[in-house]
Amino acid sequence: MRLVSYRPLFAASALMMALFGAITLAVFSGGETPARAVTRWTVEVNTEGFNPRQCNIVRNDEVEFKNTSNQPIRVFHPEIGGAPAVFDETLAAGATSSALGFNFGGTYVVESGLGHSVTIFNPNTGPGTPGCSKEAPTPSPTPTGTATPTATPKPPMPAKCTWNGCAVAVGLASDGD
C-alpha cells in the first residue's frame, strides 16, 4: 500500500497565496494620497482689492474672505453662461464670509463688487504646493539708503621713502658677537 503525502501540495499553495497577497498589496495600496486635515485660508478684501491676489491651495482646502475696510463689499464667484453665482456674499466691515470649499481641480476667479479679483488655483492632479499668504503692502515702503563702504586708505609709506615703490632691504639682526 502506498501513502500519499499532501504536504508539498499544501506548502506550494500557501506560498502561492502569500505571493499573490504581496502583489495585491503592492499594486493596490501605493497610489492613495494620505488623509490630511483641511486647511482654511483667509483672503483679505478691501476697497483696494484682494490680499493676496493669487492663492494656491490643495484639494479639500477652504478659502474664506475677510473684509478689512470700513464699508460693505460684495464678494462672489461668477458662473459661466449667466447662471447665478455659487458663492455670493456681501461682507460688512470687519466681517468674514462662510468658507468656500474646493474639492476638485481648476482655476477659479473670485471677484468683488468693486471690480477687483483673486485667482484661486487648485491642481488637477497631485497634492500641489499651497501658498495663500498675505502680500507686502502696496506700494512697498521706500527703501532707506544703504551704507556704502568707504575707500580703503593707502598703507603708510616706509620711513625715508620719497618716491613710489621704495625698495625694502632685508636686514639681519645680530647680538654683537
Task: Report pLDDT for 47.
Answer: 86
Residue 134 in domain = no
Task: Report pLDDT for 140.
Answer: 47
Residue 48 in domain = yes
Mark the ranges of the chain whose per-residue pLDDT is less than 70.
1, 26, 28-37, 80-85, 124-129, 136-150, 155, 157-158, 162-173, 176-177
CATH number of 83's domain: 2.60.40.420
Task: Report pLDDT for 117.
Answer: 84
Residue 100 in domain = yes
Question: Using CA atoms, how far apart are residues 134 and 142, in angstroms rounded to an integer?
Answer: 19
Q: How is residue 93 written as a grid cell?
A: 466691515
Residue 94 in domain = yes
Model pTM score: 0.53
Residue 4 in domain = no
Task: Report pLDDT for 115.
Answer: 83
Report CA torsion sign: 77, 79, 85, 90: positive
Task: Report pLDDT for 37.
Answer: 62
Asked if 85 contacts 109 with a C-beta cutoff of 8 angstroms, the reply is no
Give the residue among 140, 164, 145 at the shortest CA–CA distance from 154.
164
Q: Cell 502583489 appears where?
A: 23
Task: Report pLDDT for 4.
Answer: 75
**Domain range spanning residue 60?**
40-122
Residue 169 in domain = no
- Please give the tally of structural domains in the chain: 1
Residue 175 in domain = no
Residue 161 in domain = no
